[in-house]
Amino acid sequence: MRRKAAMFGAGVIALVVLGAIFASQLAQFPPDQQNFDGLTLEGAPMPPSATYWFGTDLLGRDLFSRLLYGAQTSLIIGVVANGLSILIGTAVGVTAGWRRGWVGAVLMRFTDLMMAFPALLLAICLAAIFQPSLWIVALVIALVNWVQTARIIYTQTISLAERDFIAAERTLGASDWRILRHHILPHLLPTLLVWGTLGISITVLLEATLSFLGVGVQPPTPSWGNIIFENQTYFQSAPWLVFIPGAAILLLALAFNLVGDALREEMDPTQKGRG
């Protein structure tokens, strides 16, 4: 509560989540409904008004309604893709840090190899190979985002494995699984919580980028990225079609970053008192 920026971020996240959950109640129109009065006499999108709060798009669809339903897509992909990347990165990092030897060397060299490829380029290639859909995009993003988590968890696992209480557990005959479950993983949870929160913002931005490039979530399913992609040709004549969803993407990413930074500072003793 002392961190005003974090509270602002939490408020933004809460608003977006509530908007996504209650999209069917809050939306004035179905997201794919082409309204007869949603275009001007010249066939151009309508600007924001009392009827269409955020205006309409090039097909006469209500932009506010599409943003609400698009929030569902962005949040689902953000949570699912980031959750999968955390699981993969944790599995690789803990295995490499605990086993070490040739197992750790192989896993970390593979991680280095994955880090050598630009994440966006690799995501575009994978999305182009598979048929783009909501769950495929989430899987693709998870497959390119786990490497940072693996690196961090690998380093922390090695540090924990050398602690005296781990040596004492081994002396008492505790199995590897018991040590990992009761001592290693609980100590990694704060890091995973912070990294998971920060990672959602990266995931949301990457999903929006893929959708904008046409290899993400495909129409008619709305997402904030493909809303910009569909309406980019009207950037000069109807700027609200680009600025409003773009601002929503940046605001949500900023909110998760603010909350993630606050969690990191609270859970790291060396950072307390600096917020």
The model's pLDDT over 147-194, given as tens digits with 9 standing for 90+, comes to 888 988 998 888 888 888 888 877 777 777 888 888 888 888 888 887
Residues in contact with 55: Cβ distance below 8 Å, sequence separation at least 6, in sequence order: 45, 46, 47, 48, 49, 63, 238, 240, 241, 244
Q: How far apart are CA 32 and CA 61, in angstroms?
A: 6
Q: How far apart are CA 143 and CA 23, in angstroms?
A: 30
Percentage of residues of the chain with pLDDT beyond 90: 7
More confident residue, 9 or 197: 9
End-to-end CA distance of the chain: 11
pLDDT tens track for 58-89: 888 888 989 999 888 888 888 888 889 999 99
Q: How far apart are CA 96 and CA 218, in angstroms?
A: 37
pLDDT at 245 over 90: no
- Altogether, the residues listed in the chain come to a count of 275
User: What mean pLDDT do residues 94-108 have?
Assistant: 87
pTM of the model: 0.79
Side-chain half-sphere CA neighbours of 148 within 13 A: 16
pLDDT at 6 over 90: no
